[in-house]
Amino acid sequence: MSEFMPGKLVNLSRLVHRVVANNAGMMTGTGTNSYLIGNQQIAIIDPGPANPKHIDAIIEAAESLQGKIQWILCTHTHLDHSPGAALLKEKTGAVICGQPAPPGNSQDANFQPDQHWQDSSELACEEFSISAIHTPGHASNHLCFLLHDENLLFTGDHIMSGSTVVISPPDGNMVQYLASLEKLKSYPIDNLAPAHGGILAKPLEIIEGTIAHRLKREKKVLERIPTLTTCDIESLTTSVYDDVPVFLHPIAKMSLMAHLAKLEEENRISRKESLWSLENT
Ligand SMILES: [Zn+2]
């Protein structure tokens, strides 16, 4: 796993380089990937947590490329992605691009983008061009970034390598998540660069596999609801995630809540106080 050693500069292609933050864990996998795009005028995607050592490692990586950090792009404002932006800006004068944080405990409320990026916002310089694709679902302000020169999509937490993305309501939304995955199918994408884990090839297979995985879980929710005498969130989590280790159930419960919210919105299930049932029973 030395490829993911914190602080180490890894060159992934002519234009793309990576430095991993020292925050590996259950939710972050091998740690947050901070990507450097370009060799002269450099854009950073996801500066990661506000860890001075990590920010210095990003700056040193840019110096070793003999480039200057000019832009900081944030996929979203979860705490392992954007809090380093302010410190990196302070040290480099780079322009911060992204969307402000929605309300919520897991959000970087201090995030202040200089440029409020939307769907299709673009950055073009001599070496490369990159544009934003708004992909709500994991987070309402989530942006993926498409590097046109390499048809490489930086997926943030929309698609991860080696672990399932958590959709945690109310900011996380399963309807939007699936729609955002569908939306990506229309773009020219050769590879995926997630914020956690390595580069993924065969993007279409991965996108379709992710959608299928979610719909399979949704089907299981619908199958299990009528089998439970007390169908509350706890017993439903145990039943629907019987293939997932118990220590992961608190996290699985969040995604289950997102599935339930979707099914309720579609009038396929209903809730009476804390108990769920199929709409027609
Ligand atoms: Zn996230």
Q: How far is the CA of 47 from the centre of ligand 1 (A)?
A: 13
Beta bridge partners of 6: 20
Task: Give the mean model confidence (pLDDT) for residues 163-186.
Answer: 95
Cβ-contact 237, 220 below 8 angstroms = no
Q: How far is the CA of 163 from the centre of ligand 1 (A)?
A: 12
Q: How far is the CA of 55 from the centre of ligand 1 (A)?
A: 19
3-state secondary structure 146-170: EECCCCEEEEECCCCCCCCCCCCCC
Q: How far is the CA of 106 from the centre of ligand 1 (A)?
A: 9
Alpha carbon distance 18, 61 (integer Å): 9
Cβ-contact 78, 98 below 8 angstroms = no
Q: For 206-228, what is each residue's pLDDT tens digit?
A: 999 999 999 999 999 999 999 99
Quote the percentage of the chain above a pLDDT of 70. Answer: 99
Q: How far is the CA of 160 from the centre of ligand 1 (A)?
A: 10
Q: For 86-123, what is each residue's pLDDT tens digit?
A: 999 999 999 999 999 999 989 999 999 999 999 999 99
Exposure class string for 98-114: b at 16+ Cβ within 10 A, else e: bbebeeeeebbeebebe
Could you give all domains of the chain from N- to C-terminal order, each with its CATH number? Answer: 2-201 (3.60.15.10), 217-278 (1.10.10.10)
Alpha carbon distance 279, 281 (integer Å): 6
**187 HSE (CA, 13 A, CB side):** 29
Q: For 194-205, what is each residue's pLDDT tens digit?
A: 999 999 999 999
Q: How far is the CA of 277 from the centre of ligand 1 (A)?
A: 31
Alpha carbon distance 125, 212 (integer Å): 38
Cβ-contact 129, 41 below 8 angstroms = no
**252 HSE (CA, 13 A, CB side):** 21
- pLDDT grade, residue 281 (50/70/90)? low
